[in-house]
Structure 1
């Protein structure tokens, strides 16, 4: 494969991971909220969910904008 195809494949993989990993983090936070018995643990789960959703909403778009060819 050429250098351009390798770079495109790596960028596609990174964009895919930038979507999957925060989604898994949000799912983990939801499980933590559901299983927690104390309020601090529930707040930690809520913080994980909110931060994962923020990353999910911003990171892939930021990476795509950074890599966009002119």
Structure 2
């Protein structure tokens, strides 16, 4: 495996790790929402859910755009 393949693999793992972190946050938010007895806990669960959705949607796309190969001149 050459260096370019290794870098591409590591970048892919980083993007998938961001997705896994988002999924873990969403699961935690569901647990909080399911056991919430107060309004504050409900608001915390909703905020964590929205943040998790943003992480799953935006972070991998931002990383891919940052690492995009520049067009040949």
Structure with a larger share of its residues in helix: 1
CA distance in structure 2 between the aligned counterparts of 1:8 and 1:55, rounded to whole angstroms = 21
Shift of 1:57: 1.1
Shift of 1:19: 1.0
1:47-66 counterparts in 2 under 5 A? 47-66=47-66
TM-score, reference length from structure 2 = 0.88
Q: Deviations over 1:36-60 (max 9, x none)?
A: 1111111111110011111111101
Over aligned residue pairs, what C-alpha RMSD do you find? 0.9
Equivalent residue for 1:38? 38
Equivalent residue for 1:6? 6
**Larger-gyration structure (1/2):** 2
Count of residues in Structure 1 that have an aligned counterpart in Structure 2: 70
TM-score, reference length from structure 1 = 0.92
> Where does structure 2 lack aligned partners over 5 or more consecutive residues?
none
Q: Deviations over 1:16-42 (max 9, x none)?
A: 111111011011101100111111111
CA distance in structure 2 between the aligned counterparts of 1:67 and 1:18, rounded to whole angstroms = 15
